[in-house]
């Protein structure tokens, strides 16, 4: 089995997780320049904006890069569900002197039917393309591979890992329940909520592909532990949020540095899909039993973002998506390059 550095042409077995809305081209380039693999998240933007983000990262590094997209099933609009949800959120909007949107929009286009994004990748040829929330059609994976682009996908169970292997991917990102951000669970599959330790060992022992561990890994010891379980490297998200190169706002940074970081929680109320973040009023008040059905992802996220904007305009940050993993209290306030150097030093000499 090739090592992660030799497979990807990098120096250290460390991937900075793609983090839509938080990672930036500057962050990705800094990590790649420091010897890890930087990731440009483009799941939340269209192909035009993605082209700009990738070009920006490319202008800052000549090292390999990962580009990440979402492969969720496109949402089926259910007007009555959306209406009931907006009514439920109504009093919260009123509290902040705002009105809820009239209807919910599908704010993100899934890569499963985004031809422009595929064309962009084939033209720009990032070294790695990674998928979250499932896999696109086989022809799309084959097209990327024929262009010498390596392919990775996120698995939260052995069943998903085997599907990724069968699709001819090069890497499996094993995402444990500790992880910050959205659970990568495939549509229609049960969320088994497996922790990183069990999941990595399970996937590493039952598949033939290199496995990258993700979820709750914050330092060199965590990376070494994942590698002792059979992973070829680790993908870290939360650890990079405080880096000056991330676009996390001051309120998010302050919350992550506070004792609130000890309380993370997986919720679907913010976006319509389960995701782990710092426990806040949005989760507490909207998760109450007997509430109406939550609109599908990413329709619910349209409402969640509007509510956060209304609250934030009044100085209230209790309705934001402050995604963070269970290792959040271990987060360090340092530049991306310093963090990669610290991780490598903690792991012991790797090269
Ligand atoms: C703020 C944030 C945003 C995220 N956005 C994405 C994303 O756009 N695409 C993706 O594949 N994973 C995303 N993730 C999940 C990461 O890929 C990874 O699984 C997770 O960060 C690992 O757990 P950790 O945060 O404990 O390191 C995100 C995670 C965070 C914390």
* Residue 180 CB–ligand 1 contact under 6 Å: yes
Distance between Cα 143 and ligand 1 center (Å)? 26
pLDDT for res 76: 87
With b for 16 or more beta-carbon neighbours within 10 A and e for fewer, the 267-286 pattern comes to bbbbbbbbbbbbbbebbebb
The Cα 157–Cα 148 span in angstroms is 27
* Residue 322 CB–ligand 1 contact under 6 Å: no
Distances (CA, A) of 336 to 50, 234, 240, 288: 22, 15, 7, 39
pLDDT for res 14: 98
DSSP 22: T
* Residue 134 CB–ligand 1 contact under 6 Å: no
* Residue 235 CB–ligand 1 contact under 6 Å: yes
Hey, whose CA ends up nearest to atom 5 of ligand 1?
A: 19
pLDDT for res 243: 98
DSSP for 99-117, written as a single string = ---SS----S--GGG-HHH
- List per-block mean pLDDT (blocks of 10 residues) for the chain, which spans 351 residues: 94 98 98 98 98 98 98 93 96 96 95 98 98 98 98 98 98 98 97 98 98 98 97 99 98 98 98 98 90 94 97 97 98 98 88 46
pLDDT for res 77: 86
- The HSE-up count of residue 172 (CA atoms within 13 Å, CB side) is 32
């Amino acid at each position: 089995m090739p090592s992660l550095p030799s497979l990807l042409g990098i120096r250290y077995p460390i991937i900075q997780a793609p983090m839509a809305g938080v990672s930036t081209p500057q962050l990705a380039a800094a990590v790649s320049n420091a010897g890890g693999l930087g990731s440009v998240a483009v799941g939340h933007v269209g192909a035009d904006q993605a082209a700009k983000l990738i070009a920006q990262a490319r202008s800052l590094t000549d090292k390999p890069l990962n580009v990440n997209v979402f492969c969720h099933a496109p949402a089926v609009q259910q007007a009555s569900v959306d209406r009931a949800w907006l009514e439920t959120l109504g009093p919260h909007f009123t509290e902040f002197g705002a009105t809820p949107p009239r209807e919910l929009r599908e704010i993100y286009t899934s890569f499963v039917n985004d031809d422009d994004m595929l064309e962009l990748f084939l033209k720009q040829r990032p070294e790695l393309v990674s998928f979250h929330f499932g896999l696109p059609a086989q022809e799309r994976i084959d097209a990327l591979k024929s262009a010498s682009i390596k392919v990775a996908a996120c698995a939260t169970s052995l069943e998903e890992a085997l599907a990724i292997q069968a699709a001819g991917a090069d890497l499996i990102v094993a995402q444990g329940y500790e992880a910050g951000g959205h659970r990568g669970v495939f549509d229609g599959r049960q969320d088994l909520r497996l922790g990183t330790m069990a999941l990595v060992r399970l996937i590493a022992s039952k598949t033939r592909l290199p496995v990258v561990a993700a979820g709750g890994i914050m330092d060199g010891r965590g990376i070494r532990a994942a590698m002792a379980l059979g992973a070829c490297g680790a993908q870290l998200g939360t650890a990079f949020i405080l880096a000056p190169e991330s676009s996390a706002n001051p309120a998010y940074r302050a919350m992550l540095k506070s004792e609130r970081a000890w309380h993370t929680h997986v919720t679907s109320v913010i976006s319509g899909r389960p995701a782990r973040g710092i426990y806040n009023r949005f989760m507490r008040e909207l998760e109450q039993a007997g509430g109406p059905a939550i609109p599908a992802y990413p329709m619910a996220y349209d409402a969640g973002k509007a509510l956060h904007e209304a609250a934030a305009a009044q100085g209230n940050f209790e309705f934001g998506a402050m995604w963070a993993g269970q290792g959040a209290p271990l987060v360090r306030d340092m530049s991306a390059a310093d963090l990669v150097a610290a991780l490598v030093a903690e792991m012991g000499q790797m090269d």
